[in-house]
């Protein structure tokens, strides 16, 4: 299996190559050259497997012929061993035909752990094989950063630089990141939005000299390995609810479009997914695109679901590639239009395909609070504001008949205690693993949203030329 760029002018790479490069050097995103297929029998055979075993069957075809395939079984077993629920990603029923898929049982209480615990292990092993160091640069609106810091802290071969928008993540999210004591972890608070942080990270990859000198790699969902490790729970939850013999719909709290793109990938591999609901907060560039055919991101609005305070959804480019029949020159044109004019309009054919599978709803702040309250009153379950946005969107989705709706619960309520208290008057219980992680001293450097300032900081602190010691904390 090779991985090709959505923009068509970068060399195709192996899985390991794409893992370490993160972004293709023409600025595009890596995609598998074709979607591996799972037959109905193969899908049905996932029933009852351990999560790691099911994930192995879903992920392994993408790694065919790659050295990472030899690591996969061990990587998955180590990655999910540390989860705090034996099912890793269990389902809970909240209505006659609606289910919440709990993706917050990992070490940092967000769905990012399911992929990050895998990606860090793949990267560390690949670097060891190559005798190389790497510098991870990542942008976060709160959860990716925390998950990456947890997954990479103390690794000898990898320095990690995480940019978050200053004052725009929850206190718990910030402290999860900034109280890490390991020397390989660096937090940068950018005076700007998540979109500013993501733009700086992409520009870092675009600087070829720097990229080479520092051995840059990325852990955001621009890295296909992140998407790959998020496909498994679409399969396991759908099979629990009757797939492949019964179709399933998913409502996915969405920001960067990575998680829902993993749902698209599951469908492309053969899972009977009837509908994918894009659930956003007030940052509604995707619902507007689904209403009009024009994608026009605007300024980021701060909400009580800060991890989704994103307008420029990186992975929408992957879907465009698919909608355009994998025509990379079309994708290049649309991306250029977006850069130059701030928007682009889909062709009728592309728009038709988009609306056949996806729908989109945005939830404002009142609706989010009412949803947290409603779910609590009806079921006793305390959901976080991101999950609430997913539930609110599912409630707006008409006419799925007997198809079960799975709402992805992307974070634990304890990460957003203020929003939860405002909605239901009580704070969610804090799991012990969170209390223990929130040390007291915070380490973080404030910076303007300025590329050169960030580069100077990274160049000063990265250990790109230091000899490898082999020691790991
Ligand atoms: C809690 C939570 N929910 C939803 C999302 C949106 O996921 P994606 O960016 O993959 O669309 C994020 C951030 O990515 C998140 O942290
Ligand atoms: N919501 C994310 C934003 C980055 O998304 P990613 O999936 O591309 O890493 C966050 O919490 O950081």
Q: For tokens 């709990």, name the residue.
A: 102
Class of residue 64 by CB neighbours under 10 A (exposed 0-12, middle 13-18, buried 19+): exposed
Residue 123: left if φ>0, alpha if ψ -120 to 50, beta else—which one? Answer: alpha
User: How many beta carbons lie within 10 A of that of residue 398, not counting itself?
Assistant: 6
* Mean pLDDT within 157-184: 96
Residue 40: pLDDT band (50, 70, 90) is very high
Our answer on whether the CB atom of 54 is closer than 6 Å to any ligand 1 atom is: no
Cα–Cα separations (whole angstroms), residue 17 to 177, 223, 438:
28, 11, 35
Structure tokens at 302: 């701060």
Tell me, in angstroms, the distance from the centre of ligand 1 to residue 130's CA.
Answer: 32
Residue 473: pLDDT band (50, 70, 90) is low
Q: Are 278 and 295 in contact (CB under 8 A)?
A: no
As a three-state string, the secondary structure of 301-317 is CCCCCHHHCCCCCCCHH
Residue 306 lies in a domain: yes
Q: Which protein residue's CA is at the shortest distance from atom 4 of ligand 2?
A: 140
Distinct helix (H) and strand (E) counts, the chain: 20, 15
> Among residues 9, 5, 19, which one has the least CA distance to residue 227?
19
Q: Are 23 and 205 in contact (CB under 8 A)?
A: yes
Query: Residue 389: which domain range?
Result: 91-108+228-424
pLDDT in tens, 95-134: 999 999 999 999 999 999 999 999 999 999 999 999 999 9
Q: What is the DSSP string of 227-294?
A: HHHHHHHHHHHHHHTTTTTS-EEEEEE-SSSHHHHHHHHHHHTT--EEEEEEEESS--HHHHHHHHSE
Residue 315's DSSP bridge partners are none
SS3 152: helix
Out of 162, 254, 311, mutate this one to test ligand 1's pocket (max ligand atoms within 8 Å of CB): namely 254
Q: Cis link prior to 359 (omega < 30° from 0)?
A: no
Distance CA 394, CA 367 (A): 13
Our answer on whether the CB atom of 258 is closer than 6 Å to any ligand 2 atom is: yes
Residue 435: pLDDT band (50, 70, 90) is confident
Our answer on whether the CB atom of 220 is closer than 6 Å to any ligand 2 atom is: yes
Distance CA 160, CA 367 (A): 37
Structure tokens at 208: 């070829």
Residue 347 lies in a domain: yes
Tell me, in angstroms, the distance from the centre of ligand 2 to residue 41's CA.
Answer: 34
CATH code of the domain in which 396 resides? 3.40.50.1100
2 noted as active-site residue: no
Distance CA 174, CA 454 (A): 19
Distance CA 290, CA 355 (A): 7
Residue 245 lies in a domain: yes
Residue 268 lies in a domain: yes
Residue 196: pLDDT band (50, 70, 90) is very high
> Among residues 26, 90, 74, which one has the least CA distance to residue 381?
90
Q: How far is CA 139 from the centre of its chain?
A: 11
Counting residues of the chain whose pLDDT is more than 70, the rounded percentage is 99
Q: What length is written for the chain?
A: 473
Q: Euclidean distance between the first and final Cα of the chain, in Å?
A: 34
Our answer on whether the CB atom of 170 is closer than 6 Å to any ligand 1 atom is: no
pLDDT in tens, 264-320: 999 999 999 999 999 999 999 999 999 999 999 999 999 999 999 999 999 999 999
Residue 1 lies in a domain: no
Question: What's the mean pLDDT when you consider all of the chain?
Answer: 96
- Whether ipTM exceeds 0.90: yes
Residue 412 lies in a domain: yes
Our answer on whether the CB atom of 143 is closer than 6 Å to any ligand 2 atom is: yes
In this prediction, residue 401 carries a pLDDT of 84
Tell me, in angstroms, the distance from the centre of ligand 1 to residue 111's CA.
Answer: 8
Residue 316 lies in a domain: yes
Please, which residues have CB within 8 angstroms of residue 333's CB and are 6 or more apart in sequence? Answer: none
Counting residues of the chain whose pLDDT is more than 90, the rounded percentage is 94
Q: Specify the number of domains making up the chain.
A: 1
Residue 212 lies in a domain: no
**Mode of pairing for the β-strands spanning 3-5 and 30-32:** antiparallel
**Residue ranges in 45-169 assigned as alpha helix (H):** 51-59, 68-81, 112-130, 143-152
């Amino acid at each position: 299996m090779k991985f090709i760029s959505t923009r068509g002018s970068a060399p195709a790479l192996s899985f390991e190559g794409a893992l370490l490069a993160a972004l293709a050097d023409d600025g595009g995103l890596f995609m598998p050259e074709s979607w591996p297929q799972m037959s109905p029998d193969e899908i049905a055979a996932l029933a009852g497997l351990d999560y790691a075993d099911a994930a192995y069957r879903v992920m392994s075809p993408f790694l065919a012929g790659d050295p990472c395939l030899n690591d996969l079984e061990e990587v998955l077993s180590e990655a999910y061993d540390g989860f705090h629920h034996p099912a890793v990603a269990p389902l809970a029923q909240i209505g006659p035909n609606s289910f919440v898929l709990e993706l917050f049982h990992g070490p940092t209480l967000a769905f990012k752990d399911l992929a990050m615990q895998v990606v860090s292990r793949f990267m560390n092993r690949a670097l060891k094989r190559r005798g190389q160091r790497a510098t991870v640069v990542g942008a976060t609106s709160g959860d990716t950063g925390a998950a990456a810091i947890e997954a990479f802290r103390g690794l000898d071969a990898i320095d990690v630089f995480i940019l978050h928008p200053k004052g725009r993540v929850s206190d718990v999210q910030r402290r999860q990141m900034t109280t890490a004591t390991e020397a390989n972890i660096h937090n940068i608070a950018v005076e700007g939005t998540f979109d500013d942080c993501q733009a700086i990270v992409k520009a870092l990859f675009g600087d070829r000299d720097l990229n080479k000198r520092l051995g840059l790699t990325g852990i955001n969902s621009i890295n296909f390995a992140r998407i790959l490790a998020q496909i498994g729970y679409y399969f396991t939850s759908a099979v629990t609810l009757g797939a492949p013999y019964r179709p399933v719909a998913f409502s996915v709290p969405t920001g960067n479009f990575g998680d829902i793109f993993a749902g698209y990938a599951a469908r492309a591999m053969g899972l009977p997914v009837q509908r994918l609901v894009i659930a956003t907060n007030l940052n509604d560039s995707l619902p507007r695109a689904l209403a009009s055919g024009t994608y026009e991101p605007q300024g980021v609005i701060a909400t009580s679901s800060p991890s989704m305070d994103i307008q420029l959804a990186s992975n929408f480019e992957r879907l465009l590639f698919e909608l355009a029949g994998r025509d990379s020159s079309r994708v290049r044109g649309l991306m250029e239009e977006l850069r130059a004019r701030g928007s682009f309009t889909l062709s009728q054919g592309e728009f038709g395909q988009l609306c056949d599978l996806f729908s989109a709803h945005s939830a404002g702040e009142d609706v989010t609070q009412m949803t947290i309250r409603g779910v609590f009153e009806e079921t006793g379950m305390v959901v976080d504001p991101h999950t609430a946005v997913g539930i609110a969107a599912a409630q707006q989705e008409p006419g799925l008949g007997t198809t079960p709706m799975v709402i992805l619960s992307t974070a634990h309520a304890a990460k957003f205690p203020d929003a939860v208290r405002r909605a239901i008057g009580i704070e969610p219980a804090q799991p012990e693993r969170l209390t223990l992680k929130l040390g007291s001293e915070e380490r973080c450097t404030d910076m303007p949203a300025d590329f050169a300032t960030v580069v100077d900081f990274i160049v000063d602190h990265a250990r790109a030329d230091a000899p490898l010691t082999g020691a790991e904390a």
